[in-house]
């Protein structure tokens, strides 16, 4: 017979059995339907980010860069184990996004419509683009342009990285863009409000949609083979996308 003191322990044990499976990483395209006939992605590896508020993510050919929206620090991480390689202080407050252009990093902030190019070795400002209006939550570099998510208009802006001219734009298929990356031919967008990741064409047509592996998808990066997704839980998922 259980003593009075034992009942709380039993309750905790039963509660953990019921709740923990719902807190586990998602495996299927629809985590609420394990009988789904199609698995759109698989988690290859998971590393942890030192960022208190992990937001933007970028791949520089050797390491992953994760933007911390709380400390405004850019962390360079080993993709195999998440070990900190080095860090850079951001010249912007409310840091939200980071991208790599082949030489240096680009960063943006929800605080305004200014983006900076910063040296990947020193963090020094190399270039500043003022787009006059916007609240930028994420950015990527690809096809010779910057792709910037604007929360005010809920659009993706294609921007000339030399002049700051807006070349084109298209509506975000979701409610908010928390991460964006370019895979060589298309863009990937994450939306933490709907727990959704979208693949879209450069004109904004939706190609593929699936639920995120974590509970609050944020930054995205593409390393040439795998898609990476930073989550609010401080996990960074390495994803193999099934065609």
What does each of the 243 residues of the chain score in pLDDT, given as a tens digit? Answer: 444 444 443 333 333 333 333 344 544 444 434 444 467 899 999 999 999 999 999 999 999 999 999 999 999 999 999 999 999 999 999 999 999 999 999 999 999 999 999 999 999 999 999 999 999 999 999 999 999 999 999 999 999 999 999 999 999 999 999 999 999 999 999 999 999 999 999 999 999 999 999 999 999 999 999 999 999 999 999 999 987
**CA-to-CA separations, 130 to 55, 124, 135, in angstroms, rounded:** 22, 17, 12
Nearest to 30 by CA among 194, 179, 236: 194
pLDDT at 25: 52
Kindly write down the DSSP assignment for every residue of 93-121, as one continuous string.
SSEEEEEE-SSSEEEEETT-SEEEEE-TT
CB distance 83 to 76 below 8 Å:
no
pLDDT at 20: 38
pLDDT at 243: 78
What's the rounded Cα separation, in Å, for the pair 90 and 175?
Answer: 27
- Sign for the pseudo-dihedral over CA of 143, 88, 92, 80: positive
Domain definitions of the chain by residue range = 51-241
pLDDT at 4: 45
pLDDT at 38: 63
Q: Identify the architecture of domain 51-241 in CATH.
A: 7 Propeller (2.130)
């Amino acid at each position: 017979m259980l003593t009075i003191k034992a009942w709380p322990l039993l309750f905790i044990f039963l509660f953990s059995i019921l709740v923990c499976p719902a807190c586990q990483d998602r495996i299927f395209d629809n985590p609420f339907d394990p009988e789904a006939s199609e698995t759109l992605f698989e988690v290859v590896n998971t590393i942890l980010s030192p960022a208190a508020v992990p937001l933007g993510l970028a791949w520089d050919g050797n390491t992953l860069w994760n933007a911390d929206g709380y400390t405004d620090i850019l962390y360079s991480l080993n993709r195999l184990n998440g070990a900190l390689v080095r860090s850079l202080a951001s010249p912007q407050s409310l840091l939200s996004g980071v991208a790599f252009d082949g030489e240096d990093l680009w960063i943006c902030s929800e605080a305004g419509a200014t983006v900076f190019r910063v040296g990947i070795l020193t963090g020094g400002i190399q270039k500043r683009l003022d787009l006059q209006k916007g609240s930028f939550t994420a950015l990527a570099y690809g096809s010779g342009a910057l792709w910037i998510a604007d929360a005010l208009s809920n659009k993706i802006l294609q921007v000339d990285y030399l002049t700051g001219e807006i070349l084109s734009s298209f509506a975000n298929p979701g409610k908010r863009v928390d991460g964006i990356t370019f895979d060589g031919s298309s863009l990937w967008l994450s939306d933490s409000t709907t727990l959704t990741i979208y693949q879209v064409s450069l004109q904004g047509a939706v190609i593929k949609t699936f639920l995120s592996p974590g509970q609050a998808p944020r930054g995205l990066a593409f390393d040439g083979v795998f898609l990476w997704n930073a989550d609010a839980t401080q996990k960074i998922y390495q994803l193999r996308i099934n065609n």
